[in-house]
Amino acid sequence: MSMQELWLLLPVLIVSAGILLVMLQTSWQRNSVIAQGLTVLTLVLALAALIWQYPNDIKSITLLFEYEPIGGFFSLLILMVCISVALLQGPYMGSSYQGNASKEVAEEFYMLLLLSCLGGMLLVMSRHVGSVILSIELMSLAMLAMLAYNRERKASLEGAMKYLLLSGAATSVLLMGFALLYATSGQLLLVDMLPSPMGLLAKSGFVLLLAGLAFKLSLVPLHFWTPDVYQGAPVNSTLLLTTLSKAAVFALFIKLILLVPADFEADMVRMLSWMAIASMLLGNWLALQQQSIKRLMAYSAIAHMGYVLVAGIIAMGIDDSLVLEGASYYLLAYLVASILIFAVLSLLSKLDDPQDVDQLPQLQGLFWQHPWLASIMTLGFLSLAGMPITIGFIGKFYVLTLAVKLSAWWLIAAMLVGSAVGLYYYLRVIFTLFAPAQSEIHLAPGAYITKIWIGIIAAGLLLLGILPGLLGDQLRSILMVG
Amino acid sequence: MVVVNMQLLSLLIFLPLLCGALAWFAENKLRGSGNWVSLFSLTGLLLLSLYLGSLGDSSLSWHWFARFNIHFALLLDGLALLMVVLTLALAILAVAVSWHEIEQHRGFFHFNLLFSVAGIMGVFLATDLFLFFVFWEVMLIPMTALILIWGHEKRRYAAIKFFIFTQASSLLMLVAIIALALEHQTQTGFLSFSLAELQILAFAPKTEYWFMLGFFVAFAVKLPMVPLHSWLPDAHTQAPTAGSVLLAGILLKTGAYGLIRIVLPLFPNATMEFAPIAVTLGVLSIIYGALMAYSQTDFKRLVAYSSISHMGFVLLALFSWHEVALQGAILTIVAHGISSAALFSMAGMIQHRIHSRELLSMGGMWASAPKMATITLIFVMAGIGMPGMANFNGELFTLLGSYHVFPTHTIIAALGIIGSAVYGLHLFQRAFQGPANIDITDLHMRELVYSSLLVVALFYLGLQPHIILDLSADTLSSLLSIAKEVKP
């Protein structure tokens, strides 16, 4: 490894150094505020490093990783998510200065967060089976501990257990897929793994591989774990699960899909189309009557992953940079909206409470008590519903444009039906926020930096919705080489 | 000078937003000031739009989303000016009728009112289909909020129904818009959402039909046309008075406006082919609306169904595609905007006094409120289409023009006029005549002022319809020249 390659790894190295620092600090003296500060500082530095040397061509760094624009963009998203979670965790746990510190230890959460972030960043840079497996597990295992962070919540433990077992099973499916591909091609580099006339063995290997990833993306029919895990986990861990792991895994997913050889495309399109249609319809349908916002967001995540998958399917049909732009914009829109919605829940909840604030009646009349908070949540839901002047609409516009371009009318029909059904439950939540207030809703005091950060993200949601050209006109050069 | 105009044109959209925020802020600082801020800003906007109109057509086009060649493009021509003035005038009426009616969250109410005005003006001014769609959806949000927060007893249900109906149908329009832009790319090599550039496209007959349907469904829901109307009675009835005024007065007209601006000029062949179906549905709306209106006992619900009936005339006129009928459609759009808004504001005044919209609990109110009764009678007569008042011209022209193209349909549609007389008189009789059931206070000064202004407007436009026809002449003549090309 040359000095230059090390230099290219700078963002990853900064995060790794941050992990060591937080660990040392914790063993020296426990202090949640310092740990949080170090974490945020690490992530901001990594973000700055990434932007400073943003990749504009493909360079491989050893056998395992590569440094290229798609990975760069997704790393940006991952860092944005992790900064949000790190900032939100402070008020959620309370601090000893305000005399409301949580009974759970606080510092380890930040360490796990950084580990998970590292896993995600490495995953989007991977070009080799070994690095894929390592980084996906690093990300998932760290997340597992975060899912069970409050040991007194039964639902949290149950959810974590479910995630552990099913995620383990999914990883073994993934490994099996890699093994079959290796058996046919004898290669471990992702780009060389798919032999060009695909035999039955290679085909089944690739399908298993995608199934393992579809589990992480919670696509139907591999979605069953999602609602329970989402609902049980502490709200910030749910946020991380629905944003970081989805974004990172999707980056890998789309890279793999782009490698599919021509003779296997028709089969893949058929299989993935069914998955996308089922995800869009079932996800939206099951979300209809949910009372818990976390559960609702779980089903909505299933539906939204269905929409993004549409972009993935189209990637096989037409060779156009618009596909990548569409998928990236849509994913960005989804992440931003999720961050905002979970941020509001997080600011209203406490880790030590037996449950987070996530039942609809608990949020009734939020607008009349905390107008800013409710406005942010409303913006998030409007964006998920794809209303204009939010970023979600632009994302939807991209994906619809792609689908119309390919004349994929079945996919379009499922998208339209799904969106129409989706409107109902998003609207139900928004209406609850604006209903007459029933009881006093408590908001975490202080935490001004967190609130400012959330405000910035909300402003970004509006800005990129009103002036889509700001990012949309540049995306092509951000994502493509040359 | 031209540059100044361009910027002023965009103010028609941005100023209402700004003033809305200002009204919200002012109302929170000083109770009651929001009314005045809204009133002054709307009056100012009205003057501004008249000034811009006096300068002739003005347009602007800014780069907005270059990746898809989308522009922020506005055009104020005669027809758009007409609709903008109508919008602002009715918005002023909406502020006036809700002067004391709104008790909670008054600042936020004014914000929503002006926000929806901004959205509606955008719909009337936009000449880029993407922009048009954005405004089309954006105007829904504040309107839904108006129904949801300040509406009557079943407001939640009505708001959700209103939103989902209009949103779901407009998704089809979005797909059609995208497909249209991509079609432009296949034919000319670059994407375009501009209405003017899209007009040069030539389609295969089947494609054109599908495009037309995508737009038509969205506009037909807004219009509304039977069988896509079921959101309207609920939304109109449950909305606060100001909301009903805006809904009936302007929002329904955006559907008709979309048909005039987009469906007819872009897809002339498909429109001609589809005309028999559309006209049949229009006549069905006329008759169904009239029958349903007659069987209502709720004041606002009755007026709501009458709107369905009247908008059926617009549909009939537009798809006849005959010069006189098109003029009739424009006249009906304006006249119905004023007369239905007038009736809804009257319903609001009554409800403010007796806390009911039930006709059965009214009766004999003439005795205690003669001024109110007289004015209501004039509004009802306007709705019926009494000669000398605005609606008469619209319906007469519609029937005259359509008769040349669809004689059978027109004869049946004419029955709707009898229907309107029946339910109109039924309404008036139940509420104001008969034994006095209830004592109410008569109109006071503020109500008298705006009611009489409405009466004046109805008579003036009834006697001088050429003002409306002159303003819309350019649009109509270009439509007719397209029609001549298609069917010489």
DSSP sequence for A279-340: HHHHHHHHHTT--BHHHHHHHHHHHHHHHHHHHHHHHHH---HHHHHHHHHHHHHHHHHHHH
**Domain encompassing residue B300:** 288-488
Chain B CB within 8 Å of residue A397 CB: yes
| Amino acid identity for residue B423 in this structure | Y
Share of chain A above pLDDT 70, in %: 98
Q: Can you say how many angstroms the Cα of residue B446 is from the centroid of all Cα atoms in its chain? A: 25
From CA A221, how far away is CA A1, in angstroms rounded? 42
Please answer yes or no on whether A401 and B65 come within 8 Å at the CB atom.
no
**Coil vs helix vs strand at A481:** coil
Is residue B304 scored above 50 in pLDDT? yes
Dihedral, CA of residue B11, residue B12, residue B15 and residue B16, to nearest 10: -170
**Do the bridges between strand B70-76 and strand B58-65 make them parallel or antiparallel, or are there none, so unpaired?**
antiparallel
For B385-401, letters b (16+ CB in 10 Å) and e give bbeebbbbbbbbbbbbb
Nearest chain B CA: its distance from A476 CA (Å): 9
Q: Is-contact A55 A68, C-beta < 8 A?
A: yes
From CA A451, how far away is CA A197, in angstroms rounded? 54
Chain B CB within 8 Å of residue A470 CB: no
Is residue A353 scored above 90 in pLDDT? no
Residue B297 lies in a domain: yes
From CA A169, how far away is CA A317, in angstroms rounded? 31
User: Which of A407, A434, A476 is most worth mutating to test chain B (most B CB atoms within 10 A of its CB)?
Assistant: A434
Instruction: From A332, A423, A435, A321, select the one nearest A374 (Cα to Cα).
Output: A435
Residue B10 lies in a domain: no
Residue range B54-73, pLDDT digits in tens: 888 888 888 899 889 999 99
Share of chain B above pLDDT 90, in %: 67
Residue B427 lies in a domain: yes
The helix (run of H) or strand (run of E) holding residue B296 is none
pLDDT score at B1: 43
Angle of helix B323-354 relative to helix B370-384, nearest 10 degrees, comes to 150
From CA B276, how far away is CA B258, in angstroms rounded? 19
pLDDT score at A227: 93
| Amino acid identity for residue B83 in this structure | M
Place of tokens 């908008």: B311
Instruction: From B134, B88, B147, select the one nearest B114 (Cα to Cα).
Output: B88
Is residue B137 scored above 80 in pLDDT? yes
Q: Is-contact B97 B241, C-beta < 8 A?
A: yes
The helix (run of H) or strand (run of E) holding residue B63 is strand B58-65
Q: How many H-runs (helices) and E-runs (strands) does chain B carry? A: 22, 2
Closest Cβ opposite residue B66 in set A368, A405, A469: A469
Which neighbouring-strand residues pair with A128?
A: A189
Please answer yes or no on whether A404 and B179 come within 8 Å at the CB atom.
yes
What is the token pair recorded at A313? 């399917």
pLDDT score at A159: 92
pLDDT score at B4: 57
Confidence of residue B488 (pLDDT cuts 50, 70, 90): low
Is residue A340 scored above 50 in pLDDT? yes
Is residue B3 scored above 60 in pLDDT? no
* Residues of B with Cβ-Cβ distance to A475 under 8 angstroms: 67
Nearest chain A CA: its distance from B160 CA (Å): 7
Instruction: Classify burial at B10, counting beta carbons within 10 Å of its beta carbon; exposed 0-12, middle 13-18, buried 19 or more.
Output: middle
What is the Cα Rg of chain B in Å? 22
Share of chain A above pLDDT 90, in %: 67
Nearest chain B CA: its distance from A189 CA (Å): 35
Interface of B with A in 383-422 (CB under 8 A): none
Task: Give the phi and the psi of residue B135 in degrees, each rounded to 5.
Answer: -65, -40
For residue A76, what are the CA distances in angstroms to A115, A139, A431, A473, B60? 16, 16, 34, 18, 37
Q: Is-contact A147 A241, C-beta < 8 A?
A: yes
- pLDDT averaged over every residue in chain A: 91
Is residue B119 scored above 90 in pLDDT? yes
pLDDT score at A116: 96
Phi-psi region of B321 (alpha: psi -120 to 50; beta: other; left: phi over 0): left
From CA B192, how far away is CA A52, in angstroms rounded? 36
Q: What is the mean pLDDT of residues B243-264?
A: 92
Closest Cβ opposite residue B168 in set A389, A423, A434: A423
Instruction: From B378, B311, B388, B368, select the one nearest B346 (Cα to Cα).
Output: B378
Cis status of the peptide bond prior to B224, with omega within 30 of 0: yes
Q: Can you say how many angstroms the Cα of residue B465 is from the centroid of all Cα atoms in its chain? A: 18
Q: What is the mean pLDDT of residues B223-241?
A: 91
ipTM of the complex: 0.93
Is residue B251 scored above 50 in pLDDT? yes
Q: What is the mean pLDDT of residues B344-368?
A: 88
Confidence of residue B6 (pLDDT cuts 50, 70, 90): low
Residue range A262-321, pLDDT digits in tens: 888 888 999 999 999 999 999 999 999 899 999 999 999 999 999 999 988 888 877 678
Instruction: From B107, B97, B110, B122, select the one nearest B12 (Cα to Cα).
Output: B122
Closest Cβ opposite residue B160 in set A431, A468, A475: A431
From CA B86, how far away is CA B64, in angstroms rounded? 28
Q: Which residues have C-beta within 8 Å of that of residue A168, sequence separation ≥ 6?
A: none
**Coil vs helix vs strand at A43:** helix
Nearest chain A CA: its distance from B152 CA (Å): 13
Q: Can you say how many angstroms the Cα of residue A137 is from the centroid of all Cα atoms in its chain? A: 16
Nearest CA in chain B to A402: B178
Q: Is-contact A93 A102, C-beta < 8 A?
A: yes
Q: Which residues have C-beta within 8 Å of that of residue A86, sequence separation ≥ 6?
A: A36, A39, A40, A43, A110, A113
Q: What is the mean pLDDT of residues B122-146?
A: 94
- pLDDT averaged over every residue in chain B: 91
From CA B367, how far away is CA B438, in angstroms rounded? 9
Is residue A214 scored above 80 in pLDDT? yes
Place of tokens 């029909």: A413
Q: What is the mean pLDDT of residues B100-107?
A: 86
What is the token pair recorded at A231? 């609902």
Instruction: From A299, A297, A254, A245, select the one nearest A82 (Cα to Cα).
Output: A245
Please answer yes or no on whether B134 and A468 come within 8 Å at the CB atom.
no
Q: Report how many domains make up chain B.
A: 1
pLDDT score at B30: 87
**HSE-CB for B19 with a 13 A CA cutoff:** 24
- Tell me how crowded residue A3 is: count the other CB atoms within 10 A of its CB: 6
Nearest CA in chain A to B179: A404
Residue B422 lies in a domain: yes
- DSSP per residue, A95-150: -TTTT---SS-SHHHHHHHHHHHHHHHHHHHB-BHHHHHHHHHHHHHHHHHHHT-S
Is residue A106 scored above 90 in pLDDT? no
Closest Cβ opposite residue A404 in set B164, B168, B182: B182
Residue B296 lies in a domain: yes
Q: Where are the alpha helices (H) located in B295-322, listed in sequence order?
A: 299-320
What is the token pair recorded at B233? 């009675």
Residue range A166-189, pLDDT digits in tens: 999 999 999 999 999 999 988 899
Specify the pTM: 0.94
Chain A CB within 8 Å of residue B171 CB: yes
Task: Give the phi and the psi of residue A65 in degrees, each rounded to 5.
Answer: -125, 160
Nearest CA in chain B to A426: B160
Q: Name which of A473-482, B123-132, B214-223 the model is least confident about.
A: A473-482
The helix (run of H) or strand (run of E) holding residue A64 is none
**Do the bridges between strand A59-61 and strand A65-67 make them parallel or antiparallel, or are there none, so unpaired?**
antiparallel
pLDDT score at A453: 95
Is residue B124 scored above 70 in pLDDT? yes
From CA A335, how far away is CA A80, in angstroms rounded? 9
